[in-house]
Amino acid sequence: EVQLVQSGAEVKKPGESLKISCKGSGYSFTSYWIGWVRQMPGKGLEWMGIIYPGDSDTRYSPSFQGQVTISADKSISTAYLQWSSLKASDTAMYYCARRGGGSTQGPYWFDPWGQGTLVTVSS
Amino acid sequence: DIQMTQSPSSLSASVGDRVTITCRASQSISSYLNWYQQKPGKAPKLLIYAASSLQSGVPSRFSGSGSGTDFTLTISSLQPEDFATYYCQQSYSTLRYTFGQGTKLEIK
């Protein structure tokens, strides 16, 4: 079974750093892009960025460029999303998802999704 | 970025109703359009990919159509478990896959 399992909920203070994870299993982790999506409380889905674990090629949405860092460790089939200095506005649920579709040409889709990691930033 | 606009933002319907949700792209995206269902407290679930292909395991009452800039998701006969929020997503823009704002489907 193809599965993405994310790390548990986090409660942090403004200014602290954080790294959350997304572990893939049941498939070749290095062969599929992994995307990250933010969902603020009561709001919709926002595309953050994507990484190819095979060579760590990473692309960011302009809204998130410079705000977060996406990385991956292919030796343990895990992708990461990290912040160097959290803000209260980073409070949200964060999802990872695997990109499906052709290797070089679309269309593409996202399935499966991780269960989500809730990040709460409060003083 | 390509902007995706869904309508309506919310919708009230009854069990057994036929429901249609629309998604419009700010530029042509061919058939590079996906639909997801999200229930409260759960991760999104892929329903339709490439505009009209039904994801494995998804009931056949769900269908998608469209190409270019205008797309629709149709539920032919609403079931109680279909009350959720639905999102469209374009996969045309290279590695920048924006979502619509969502349509909340509620029980009338």
Residue A119 C-alpha from the chain's centroid: 12
To the nearest whole Å, the CA of A13 is away from the closest chain B CA by: 24
Residues of B in contact with A44 (CB under 8 A): 87, 99-102
The Cα A120–Cα A14 span in angstroms is 10
Q: Is A61 on the interface with B (CB under 8 A)?
A: yes
**Which residue in chain B is spatially nearest to A108 when comparing CA positions?**
B91
**Which residue in chain A is spatially nearest to B50 when comparing CA positions?**
A107
Contact B96 A59 (CB under 8 A): yes
Nearest Cα neighbor of A4 from B46, B86, B35, B47 is B46
pLDDT at A18: 98
Residues of A in contact with B92 (CB under 8 A): 106-107
The one-digit pLDDT tens for each residue of chain B (108 residues) are 899 999 999 999 999 999 999 999 999 999 999 999 999 999 999 999 999 999 999 999 999 999 999 999 999 999 999 999 999 999 998 888 999 999 999 988
Q: Are A2 and B46 within 8 A, CB to CB?
A: no
To the nearest whole Å, the CA of B67 is away from the closest chain A CA by: 12
Q: Is residue A104 over pLDDT 80?
A: no
